[in-house]
Structure 1
Amino acid sequence: MSFAVRVRGAYGTIGGVLSTGALRAHLLAAGLAGPVATAREKSLRNYRLFAARDPRVTLGLDPERPWDERELLRLMADRCGVSGDPGLRTGRDVIDPERTLRALDAFAARLAAAARRRAPVLFGTGHPHRLLGFYATLADAMSSAGCPVLTPAQGRCVDITTRFGVRTHRLAYARGVAVVRERGGAGDGGEAGAHTHSPLPVRVVLGVAAEAGGPLPELVVGDHGWVCGAGQLGIEAMGLADTDDPALFVGEAEGQVAVAVPVDDAVPADYYRPLSRYVLNRACLSQ
């Protein structure tokens, strides 16, 4: 099935579900793949921090074996398409759109399998300003397919370390997707939610669900700590990840993460709509 894409200006409205060829073109035009905004320097820094087991970039994952910087660079070249040349230290990172498409197909297959068995699903994002709409569209479709979309621990407090120190956040759900909001804060912790890489929110959510006697999610869909934190606990987990987020790809390589989709995670929110529609079409969940 083929659909049209429409873009007005650099950040115009994008609509419609795309065929594989049209989605490839959209990924490149929107900066979701191809040369992306993520700086090579930032990615290499995060690979170095991950190799040192810095919790800011392990995102709740406890790797089964050591990963040095060169191994991580080779992995990211294989999974994302970034340059594998360790001498390339500056510039913009690159994501191979073919790898993104393959990962989206695998993502859709997992979603379809969960829908067929009407599995309880948890959605959560640390990128609410960009990715909330992507996950909310999937959550709505899964609910329509008969899957319980879980919302445990509403209003619970979570203390998260930020660049400003430890801040207390509250768990909330926006359109079926878990986010955290800084208590009493504004700006980054506003209505949409706060940006976070922490695995603590998913741990709190799963702990509250378990204490209440369930149900527990059979699938967690999200990004950052939502995916790695759940995957580390043995729950099927998958989501989107940028080139500076090696944890999801290490988790995928080691078997803790089911699918990591390489994509720039900080473009305008509207640009993810064709991805959600493509996934639902592939999963036979289009409404």
Structure 2
Amino acid sequence: MDGVLATGELRAHLIGARLAGTIATTREQSLGRYRLFAARDPRVLLGLDPEREWPLSALLRLMGRKCGVSVDPTHTSGPDMIDPDRTIAALDRFADRIGLAAGRAEPVLLGTGHPQALLEFYAGLADALSAAGCPVLTPAYGVRVDIATRFGVRTRALGYVRGVAMLRETGVRGASGAGGVHTHSPLPVRTVLAAAADAGGPLPGLVIGDHGWACGAGQLGIEAIALADSDDPAPFVGQAEGRLSEVVPLDDAVPAASYRPLMRYVLDRVGLSY
């Protein structure tokens, strides 16, 4: 898919790549995460501290509105569904906020907990925003962060690839994406924002990311926009409670090449080059 994508072409791509429509995320996985969120399990809060209670019934209604998943609590198995029209509408609003950042030359921070899948998507945005005059922030490079995992506490290092922050295995350096690790933790964005503040700024006017990068920033009062899968209710709750500006529902773990048309669609919509 080269050139400007029409909405119909984008919709067909979302369904064909299983970014929306029938996705790989299972209903069992989503319901399990919703129950953990309702119990305020920190593993699925992603740094968010919800203002009110979110029982399973309320989460199902919210995720039905935002993603198009089934709101029927007796539907407990099979693949999950994301409505591609909801994805496109949210992606349009996501793009418009990026266009506003470019027009204002706002400092931006981009970070991902899914470097294997989403690095190239965010890197394209970072390149375009930098070319438009936005400072792309990269504080705390190389700083080590202790992350709790199911295997115990693991020490990771903050790194940047083409302006996109991620956690990496310690000892991995260079410009490639090698060593990038998956994380839901908000500790990386807290570390980055603290380093920026300690250095006298600037702080980001907008954080663009996923998982703890977006929710952690939003919880601290920094405007954030995000991509999120149907089994991650925290960003959608954050949006519902006013701490995230926009959340795009899609499968966040398909092959990296599948996100390129979305990156081009976003930048074409707001007239930024890539």
The answer to whether structure 1 residue 156 and structure 2 residue 156 are counterparts is no
Q: For each residue in 1:193-247, what CA deviation from the matched residue of structure 2 results, as whole angstroms up to 9, or x when unmatched?
A: 1000000000000000000000100000000000000000111101100000000
The structure 2 residue matched to 1:142, chosen from 111, 122, 129, is 129
Which residue number corresponds to residue 273 of structure 1? Answer: 260
Which residue number corresponds to residue 246 of structure 1? Answer: 233
Q: Secondary structure at the match of 1:66?
A: coil
Which residue number corresponds to residue 152 of structure 2? Answer: 165
- Alpha-carbon separation, structure 2, partners of 1:66 and 1:281: 39
How many residues end up aligned between the 2 structures?
270
Q: Identify unmatched segments of 5+ residues in structure 2.
A: none
Q: For each residue in 1:2-54, what CA deviation from the matched residue of structure 2 results, as whole angstroms up to 9, or x when unmatched?
A: xxx3xxxxxxxxx4441111000100011000000001001000000000111
Q: Secondary structure at the match of 1:119?
A: coil
Contact 1:231 1:237 in 2 (8 A): yes
Contact 2:169 2:179 in 1 (8 A): no
Aligned counterparts, 1:1-287, within 5 A? 5=1, 15-184=2-171, 191-287=178-274
- Alpha-carbon separation, structure 1, partners of 2:179 and 2:208: 18
Contact 1:129 1:192 in 2 (8 A): no
Contact 1:243 1:263 in 2 (8 A): yes
AA of the residue aligned to 1:59: L
Q: For each residue in 1:94-146, what CA deviation from the matched residue of structure 2 results, as whole angstroms up to 9, or x when unmatched?
A: 00000000000000110011111100000000000000000000000000000
- Alpha-carbon separation, structure 2, partners of 1:163 and 1:24: 37
AA of the residue aligned to 1:248: P
When the two structures are superposed, what TM-score results if normalisation uses the length of structure 2? 0.97
When the two structures are superposed, what TM-score results if normalisation uses the length of structure 1? 0.92
What is the CA RMSD across the aligned residues, in angstroms?
A: 1.1
- Alpha-carbon separation, structure 2, partners of 1:192 and 1:237: 26
- Alpha-carbon separation, structure 2, partners of 1:16 and 1:195: 31
- Alpha-carbon separation, structure 2, partners of 1:257 and 1:135: 17
Q: Secondary structure at the match of 1:277?
A: helix
Structure 1 outlier segments of 4+, above 2 Å: none
- Alpha-carbon separation, structure 1, partners of 2:237 and 2:152: 28
Cα deviation for residue 164 of structure 1 reads 1.0
- Alpha-carbon separation, structure 2, partners of 1:282 and 1:72: 31
Cα distance change, pair 250–102 in 1 and its aligned pair in 2 (3 A): same
Q: For each residue in 1:225-279, what CA deviation from the matched residue of structure 2 results, as whole angstroms up to 9, or x when unmatched?
A: 0000000011110110000000000001110011110000011000000000000
Cα deviation for residue 182 of structure 1 reads 2.2
Cα deviation for residue 184 of structure 1 reads 5.0
- Alpha-carbon separation, structure 1, partners of 2:148 and 2:169: 12
- Alpha-carbon separation, structure 1, partners of 2:171 and 2:200: 31
Q: Secondary structure at the match of 1:267?
A: coil
Q: Identify unmatched segments of 5+ residues in structure 1.
A: 6-14
AA of the residue aligned to 1:195: H
Q: Secondary structure at the match of 1:148?
A: coil
Q: Secondary structure at the match of 2:197?
A: helix
